[in-house]
A and B are shown apart, each in its own frame.
Chain A
Amino acid sequence: MAGILYFSYIFWWLWNLYPLDSFGLPGKTAGLVLISLIFVMAVAEMAFFWGLFGVLCQKISAARISSRTAPFILASGFVLAEYLRSFFFGVFNLGAGTFLGAHWTLGNIAYQFSDFSYILRTSSIWGIYGISFLAAYLISGIALSLIKKNYKNLLILLWVPALLIGINLLAPRSPDIRQEGRIPIAIVQTQIPSKVFYTADETIDSLTTKLELLEKSAEFIDSSENGRRGLIIFPEGSQLLTDLFKFLDEESVEKYFNELSEKEILVLDQIRFPEENSLKSKIVLVNSKTGIAATYDKKLLVPGGEFRPYLMRALLYVFSPSFRRSGFIDVMPGSDSNFIKFDDYKFVIAVCSELLSPSLIRNHNPDFIVGTNNFGLFNGGRLLERQMRSISVFRAVENGKYLVNSSNFGKSYIINPDGIVEQMASGADYELLTGTIVPNQGRTWYNYLGDWPILLLSLVIFGLAIRKNRNDKTG
């Protein structure tokens, strides 16, 4: 029953994509086939490692393992299964745009606790896998105690909440939230549906609104008392520069940005850029005074959305002739670092799906994190947007940094290092969100060590359990 509910949730998630006009697939049947295929593949990928974990549960319940030890083994197994799942999601979806690694943490149980600050704050020590470990430990401990009617063990399990409370009491309450050195930030939220082609009126209306919001952003930064610089963030899918270049040549674009403000502003935009017979999802950082300051090509691309995995492509070629005729072009992953250093600004960029990857964000100890999201494909569905917000909260807390996120077709927000959403857009329409953030050079334990401590602990526990099991059999 739990499986049916969980996987129905995934289907609902995917159903927001239907129909698939934005993929260049106008046919409703072809869209249904594609979504069904993605659903089946997603279920298979997720169920495979949870299936392995289920087998482990069965073995544990059959073996002569004490009900005090068993939850540790199950928690270790669960963490290892989750880690492998996040890695093998990329392997199952291998394609030209694949960037391999344990990045795909979507569906991790820890994200359910983003509103529980006592649990959330501990992710700055052990990340989502630490929380997964504790959750699996508690759930399996309670279940085993109830099954075996060993109610005394329930008391022993109390060390987990005690630990969480202890950490929250002992750990510094909040990072250095000071007033000086604050960076003024303007987040331009857009509402551009993902489509292959846009009409002239759609493009012009969108560009008009984006330019109006850009001007207001510059006014905000001009009037800010915080520093001589500022940051304006456009979301993934905004295509400001692409549209602007239809009206201005390169020199005039530079002049346009230069005259936006007396202060030096860094404008972050995302464009689809053709490069070497492929497309790149490129973040362009324009320094209003000197032109293009840096670029970053998105690494962690969405299978099915930005590139076609080989397996899916093979199946589609058989079942959906219209897909062969569609204008879908694979995006290719970039290879450069997402760490940007712009004078005294040091930050990492996470483009939409990259927020799922804890390892991509904790690179290089940034001062703050800049995220850009695009929910244009989901036809107004709010499910993924809410999930991404929970995930962003974890990324901010894990690293003890401010996280600012600009969204297309979703709410934008500013999250502080405690995981508190300080500011959020009122709706998913075009909107300007302004605020200030504090760059933070301090490091959390998680930012230092990543997932390795909890993975090593899980491996050791799991290894010892296997060894003991073998010894028991041979003995």
Chain B
Amino acid sequence: MTKQVKVFLVFLAVLAVFSVLSFFDIFTGVKSAKLHDFAIPLLPIEQDADQDGLSNKDESYWNTDFQNPDTDGDGFLDGEEVVSGFDPRVPSDHSMGDNIESTVYGAPKNLADTISIDENLSENALAAMIAGVAAGDLRPDVNDDAFDKGVEAISLTTFDNFSKMQSPPETTYNVIEPSKENQLAYLNSLADIIKKDLLGFSQVLNTSAPINGQFQFFAAKSEQFKIAHSKITSINVPRNWLEIHKAISNAIYGLYLNYHFIGNYENDVLKATIALGQLSSINAEIPGLLKTVQAKILEEKLEIDDSLYRVMDLIYKQ
């Protein structure tokens, strides 16, 4: 008997053992019934799995169930509610109008079932895969497309859960009157945070060295942004700056969270890997945020004696 045949037989034996064990529901928290969910034919992320008018990707953004056309069970499809300006997660007769603008600030509000940031995505995905193998749904040798769809469903769920983790915590800001003095004081405080934290001049990732040797860097960055987030949420914000302030605060929170995920690479590889991509997205948003700040300064006709705003004026005046 060749070595390859022996390996194949061992693999078959392992599969057989898993099948028997799953039959008796021995795995805690992994039910056979759930396995069928993974085997439900699903469409790619850009398509609409539950045919409610929201693509799977948009369902993730709105924190709605991508396999339930009516997440809040109010009789209206999720897509209908979004198009009509209603929150697809708030059951309503729509006569009162749960207008999105009144409940959220450009980002979905957390659902009651929002996933904890400590949730281990790698373990969850692994458990789902093991369960899929045990149930026979994740068998590449079967000629139907259940395997591909099962893997896709696990991936989608993982990304969906990761996306839910990105929601910033509910924060109460110290909103003050938009007098010129208040705005100048606010911008001075903001400049300090932008320079020292958001632009990250002081500590730079060594992008030419292997990433697995630099987790200390990510952990330190995470701590820096955690402090920065605490700073930015505690400063007084003139009312007319609230939207911009929240966007910057959310970006800093996102940086904290994703540096934290990468810093904890050893505990959750999958989450750290997705976080790397998310970091790039947040960093790409920073120039736009700064440009918004500069535009607002011009709009409010404010003159501030700070090197940050001087350089921003030079850069964005064109």
Contacts and interface: CB of A to CB of B under 8 A. Distances in A.
A208 interface: yes
Contact of A274 (B202, B208, B312): B208
Interface stretch (B65-73, B82-90, B146-154, B282-290): B282-290
A198 B196 CA distance: 11
A204 B311 contact: yes
A275 B195 CA distance: 27
B281 interface: no
A195 to B, nearest CB: 11
B314 A208 contact: yes
B2 to A, nearest CB: 39
Interface string A198-238: 11111111011001100100000000000000000000000
A327 B206 contact: yes
A329 B206 contact: yes
Contact of A208 (B195, B210, B310): B310
B315 A244 contact: yes
A278 B206 CA distance: 10
B207 interface: yes
Q: How big is the B interface, by class? A: 20 to 34
Given A199-B201, A207-B311, A279-B208, A249 B287 contact: yes
Interface string A168-202: 00000000000000000000000000000111111
Interface residues of A, number: 30
Given A204-B308, A277-B208, A277-B209, A199 B202 contact: yes
A247 interface: yes
A405 B290 CA distance: 35
A201 B201 CA distance: 9
A201 B202 contact: no
Given A197-B202, A247-B290, 20 more contacts: A198-B202, A199-B201, A204-B201, A204-B307, A204-B308, A205-B307, A211-B311, A215-B314, A246-B199, A246-B200, A246-B201, A246-B287, A248-B287, A252-B287, A255-B318, A274-B206, A274-B207, A279-B208, A329-B206, A329-B208
Interface string B294-311: 000000000000011011
Contacts, number: 70
B203 interface: yes
A197 B199 CA distance: 13
Nearest to A272: B208
A259 interface: yes
B204 interface: yes
A201 to B, nearest CB: 6
Nearest to B285: A249
Contact of B307 (A201, A275, A329): A201
B288 A247 contact: no
A217 to B, nearest CB: 14
A256 interface: yes
B181 to A, nearest CB: 24
Given A197-B202, A211-B314, A247-B312, A204 B195 contact: yes
B305 to A, nearest CB: 13
Interface in B177-204: 195-196, 199-204
B199 A200 contact: yes
